[in-house]
Amino acid sequence: MLRKTEWQHCLQVFEEMFPDAHCELVHQNPFELLIATLLSAQATDVHVNKVTAELFQKYRTPEDYIRVSLEELENDIRSIGLYRNKAKNIRALCEMLITEYNGILPEDRDELTKFPGVGRKTANVVVSNAFGIPALAVDTHVERVSKRLGMCRWKDNVTQVEEKLMRWTPREEWTNTHHRMIFFGRYHCKAQNPNCPECPLLDLCREGKKRMRAK
């Protein structure tokens, strides 16, 4: 397992490798980011952006989503995985937003998780990127990198990973660290064929050392 001082070194490397890491989901406002993040579950940001390029032209407000039939909304997001369940959640979310929040998206993470289809990760993405509130969302890339490096145990659940990352990472760096770890996992430490031979963290990485020995 990594020591805290080693984790600080990892944070420096993430920043050096991906100083411009950012949210790659295209959006113009907090509401669009919420919809895009909800759609991104088990889908790539690239594909979500292709869908939302047209979706956000047609649907600009919560009222727009509930004005059409469920079948029409399903058809508009059909190319995205789990589209039926996501369409149902989007409509329910919009109805709740209108009736209980006067159409104004709350800036509180716990409030956001009350919406259908919005889990802790999605809420963290929204509050950190749309409202500038420090948060460390744990997606598949962040979880994979944390466990490969030995920052967390393989058996840790997503909440345990998030809590450990927040304890060992300065609060003001939570959001940037989230983006940098995603870029590190998406473009360098990939799920398949991670670039271990050229990794500047190989000397600290338990998974990388194991893979290199296997070669």
Query: Which residues are part of a known binding site for [4Fe-4S] cluster?
Result: 189, 196, 199, 205
Q: Distances in Å between the alpha carbon of 161 and those of 7, 15, 64, 169, 183?
A: 14, 20, 37, 12, 18
Does the active-site annotation cover 203?
Answer: no
Active-site residue (options: 139, 147, 164, 190): 139
Q: List the binding residues.
A: 189, 196, 199, 205
Give yes or no for a contact between 83 and 89, defined as CB atoms under 8 angstroms apart: no
Encoding tokens for residue 125? 């993405």
Catalytic residue among 20, 50, 76, 121: 121
Number of alpha carbons in the 13 Å side-chain half-sphere of residue 173: 16
Which distant-in-sequence residues (6+ apart) come within 8 Å of 65 by Cβ?
59, 73, 90, 91, 94
Burial of 125 (0-12, 13-18, 19+ CB in 10 A): buried
DSSP string, 128-143: HHHS--------HHHH
Q: Is 108 part of the annotated catalytic residue set?
A: no
Catalytic residues: 121, 139
